[in-house]
Amino acid sequence: MTLKIYNTLTRKKETFRPIREGEIGLYVCGITVYDYCHIGHARVLVAFDAITRYLRSQDWQVNYVRNITDIDDKILNRAAENNEDYTKLTARMINAMHEDERALAVLEPDSEPRATGHIDNIINMIQNLVDNHYAYRADNGDIYYRVKRFPDYGKLTNINLDELLSGARVEPDEAKEDPRDFALWKAAAEDETGWDSPLGRGRPGWHIECSAMSTSTLGETFDIHGGGPDLPFPHHENEIAQSEAATGKTFVHYWMHAGAVRVDDEKMSKSLNNFFTIREVLKKYHPEVVRFFLLSSHYRSPINYSEDNLIEARQGLERFYQALRDFSDVALLNDDELKQSSWYKRFTEAMNDDFNTREAFAAMYDLVRELNTAAREQRSDARHLAAQLKGLGALLGLLDADPETFLQGGGTLGQSASDGLSEQQIEILITEREAAKTAKDYARADELREQLQGLGVILEDSREGTRWRRE
RNA sequence: GGCUGGAUGGCAGAGUGGUCAUGCAGCGGACUGCAACUCCGUUCACGCCGGUUCGAUUCCGACUCCAGCCUCCA
């Protein structure tokens, strides 16, 4: 089955053709670690995690590289504000990032290079660019990329160099030959953070670290480069200019960019200061609800982070776990068994079409209905349907929790204690209600049920007894 | 202003040249002591104007509006 991927470079959905048969080199721009990750980071992390999991399930050998930018002006400024060494700040933020990733079931990439671990590669690449006149050393000691010398500049985002110049936003800098040039190496004084090198003492500018890390881990030309919605310009445009000038080869075949996360229908940005960190979000919502929410739109569409939409995601996920409730013990199918399934076929058709997770969900919801019907009729295929549902969920990193635990957790974590009702207390009230029901004292039974409902506990009666879940 | 992408039912959100998206919500029914869960049925749709076509929400063009990037940001 052919895999189609929307390529930012061509602005078209294209049939994916790997450089080497069966293999995919994937580089995703990771985090600049000067603060906690926010919900926008979460989207990129979760989207490429789901994509990578899916590709591997289709027998692609994926080499997934996601970098950490751990040296940068924002980091140095923040460290100075905190009056701490910048490596202390980045170490703390990297730990926090890893915690957030684990919570969201984001698997580790195959490698996670850090800018400070690639200083030699960065220096070599800049030296190469200087030697070939793609870069020059300015009077202030900074080294800039000579944008004019790279004729393809702007091919990713279709910008016109002259118009870029007329845009007043380009910062005029006396040291530059041309205001459009950007820094590769920033000169550093002895008492500033920097590395000694043939380029002079300094530190890398933003952009060059990704060119160095990606080409040194995946080769001068690789398959897919991904990132957030604000990266095509200037970051990826500059990466192309640096890398292709340095190697003389095509840098990347497919460019993938996630859509923006909005907050209550407002643009989310650092300057508006309206972003939510992942850890704040996880205080309100179960991590799988957040993951499900992020995957419930196509990865390229804008998505709106709001109370309503998160509640909706929770309800959707609850539908899956309700269906799996009586099948928590079913074993996962092996690959061959799963691939026999017609549901699997529909699911993969959706995913092979530029990773259409929402369409894949539609197939899973239809499977849920079939499963519920089978279970109601006590059909023998119910267990197999449940196993297929879990199998499809696993391809996206979903539905791995114990259904009862998920439903009784009520879509958030750790709220049972603050609710004032322990599981034991709930069970006691349910037993009391059972007694009232047996005695046909329905008024008392309803009173108990309403009491529990007021505390966020929903009861569900069945022939086998009463189950409960939190809203 | 330039460059991208989009406009689908009450909301969210896919997709298709002519028969169903899907989820939530609503309505009717089954189940239930009553509910909840679940199942069955069902209402509600493709921004606006032209064109192509036997037929367009789907293709083409104009228009209007919205979002992202062009400034730190994933």
Give, to the nearest 10 degrees, the angle between helix A382-395 and helix A39-57. Answer: 120
Q: How far is the CA of A360 from the C1' of B27 (A)?
A: 29
A277 vs A281: CA distance, rounded Å: 6
A404 vs A468: CA distance, rounded Å: 9
Q: How far is the CA of A298 from the C1' of B58 (A)?
A: 19
> What is the pLDDT, as a whole number, of residue A411?
62
A284 strand B contact, CB < 7 Å: no
> At residue A172, does pLDDT exceed 60?
no
Above 0.90 for ipTM, yes or no? yes
Rg (alpha carbons) of chain A, rounded to whole number: 26
| pLDDT interval class at A463 (50, 70, 90) | confident
A126 vs A138: CA distance, rounded Å: 14
> At residue A356, does pLDDT exceed 70?
yes
A363 strand B contact, CB < 7 Å: no
Which of A171-175, A182-186, A193-197, A340-344 shows the lowest mean pLDDT across its residues?
A: A171-175
Beta partners for A145?
Answer: A135, A182
- Across residues A233-238, what is the average pLDDT? 96
Q: pLDDT digits over A247-303, tens only?
A: 999 999 999 999 999 999 899 988 888 889 999 999 999 999 999 999 999 999 999
A468 strand B contact, CB < 7 Å: no
The whole-model pTM stands at 0.96
Residue A350: nearest nucleotide (C-alpha to C1'): B14
Q: A222 near A28, Cβ under 8 Å?
A: no
> At residue A416, does pLDDT exceed 60?
no
All structural domains of chain A, each given as residue ranges with its CATH number in brackets, are: 16-261 (3.40.50.620), 284-409 (1.20.120.640), 423-470 (no CATH)
Place of tokens 């919900």: A39
Residue nearest to nucleotide B1 (CA to C1'): A167
Place of tokens 């929903």: A458
Beta partners for A299?
Answer: none
Q: How far is the CA of A413 from the C1' of B18 (A)?
A: 50
Place of tokens 């530059």: A176
Q: A212 near A121, Cβ under 8 Å?
A: yes
Inter-CA distances, A227 with A118, A210, A216, A394, A417, Å: 20, 11, 18, 24, 39
Q: How far is the CA of A174 from the C1' of B23 (A)?
A: 57
| pLDDT interval class at A164 (50, 70, 90) | confident
Of A257, A258, A277, A226, the residue nearest A100 (C-alpha): A277
> At residue A397, does pLDDT exceed 80?
yes
| pLDDT interval class at A471 (50, 70, 90) | confident
